[in-house]
A and B are shown apart, each in its own frame.
Chain A
Amino acid sequence: MDSQSTATATATAMQDRFGCCFRNWMAQQHRDLDELLRAVSTDSGDAEKLKCLAGKNIQHFRDYLEARSQLAQHDAPSFFCPSWRTSFENSFLWIGGCRPTMAIRLVYSISGSDLEARLAGGGTGGDDNSNSSSINLGEVSASQLRSINELHIKTVRMEEKLSSRMASMQEEIADDPLALIAKWSGRAGEESESVERVMKGHELSLARVLTEADELRLETLRELVEGILTPLQAVELLVEMTKLHLSIHEWGKRRDSVLGKV
Chain B
Amino acid sequence: MIDLVCPRMLSEEDDGSPAKCRERRRRRIDMRRLAALSTAGWLPQSALGPGGGRVESPCVSEAKRIRTSDRSCLPSSSSASSGDDAEALVAPTQPQPQPQPAVVAEATSVEWYGVMSVSGRSREMEDAVSVRTGLCRPELNQRRPVHFFAVFDGHGGHHVSRLCREMMHVFLEEELTRVREQRADEDDVWREVMRTSFQRMDELAMNTCACGSVGSQCGCHPMEVALGGSTAVAALLTPDRIVVANCGDSRAVLCRGGKAIPLSRDHKPDRPDELARIEAAGGRVIYVNGARVEGILAMSRAIETFGGSGDKYLKPVITSGPEITFTARQAEDDCLILASDGLWDVLSSELACEVAFECLREGGPPAMDLNSGPAAEDNGSHSLCPSRSVLAASLLTRLALGRKSWDNISVIVVDLKKS
Contact = CB atoms under 8 A, between A and B. Distances in A.
Contacts of B404: 109, 112
B15 to A, nearest CB: 14
B394 A119 contact: no
Interface string A88-126: 000000000000010001001101111110110101000
Contacts of A145: 116, 118, 394, 397-398
B189 interface: no
Given A109-B402, A223-B47, A228-B47, 9 more contacts: A109-B401, A111-B401, A115-B34, A139-B37, A140-B41, A140-B398, A146-B96, A153-B93, A227-B46
A74 B157 CA distance: 42
A123 B26 CA distance: 9
Nearest to B56: A153
Interface residues of B, number: 52
Nearest to A124: B26
A142 B45 contact: no
B377 interface: yes
B34 A118 contact: yes
B116 A230 contact: no
24 contacts: A108-B120, A108-B401, A109-B402, A109-B404, A111-B402, A113-B402, A114-B402, A115-B395, A119-B27, A119-B355, A121-B27, A123-B30, A141-B375, A142-B114, A143-B96, A144-B45, A147-B48, A150-B48, A153-B119, A153-B125, A154-B54, A227-B47, A228-B45, A230-B374
Contacts of A144: 41, 45
Contacts of B401: 108-109, 111-112
Interface in A142-190: 142-154, 156, 160
B386 A143 contact: yes
A142 B399 contact: no
Interface of B: 23, 26-27, 30-31, 34, 37-39, 41-48, 54, 56, 92-93, 95-96, 114, 116-121, 123, 125, 355, 373-375, 377-378, 386, 390-391, 393-395, 397-404
A232 interface: yes
Nearest to B38: A141
Interface in A203-259: 223, 227-228, 230-232
A21 B217 CA distance: 57
A223 B45 CA distance: 11
A232 B45 contact: no
Contacts of B39: 141
A238 B56 CA distance: 29
A230 B375 contact: yes
A142 B390 contact: yes
A119 to B, nearest CB: 6
A1 to B, nearest CB: 53
Contacts of A108: 120-121, 401-402
Contacts of B378: 47
A223 B53 CA distance: 14
B400 to A, nearest CB: 8
Given A108-B401, A153-B93, A153-B119, A139 B41 contact: yes
A141 B42 CA distance: 6
Given A112-B398, A153-B93, A47 B30 contact: no
B3 to A, nearest CB: 35
B95 A150 contact: yes
A139 B34 contact: yes
Nearest to B23: A121
A150 B121 contact: no
A141 B393 CA distance: 11
A116 B45 CA distance: 25
Contact of A121 (B26, B34, B117): B26
Which of A113, A121, A139, A141 counts the most chain B CB atoms within 10 A?
Answer: A141
A118 B373 contact: no
Which of A112, A121, A138, A223 counts the most chain B CB atoms within 10 A?
Answer: A112
A156 B126 CA distance: 14
B398 A143 contact: no
A143 B384 CA distance: 10
A118 B29 CA distance: 10
Contacts of A143: 42-45, 96, 386
B399 A112 contact: yes
B30 A141 contact: no
A14 B334 CA distance: 67
Contacts of B377: 47
B412 to A, nearest CB: 13
A230 B47 contact: no
Contact of B393 (A105, A112, A142, A149): A142
Given A147-B47, A153-B125, A156-B123, A116 B41 contact: no
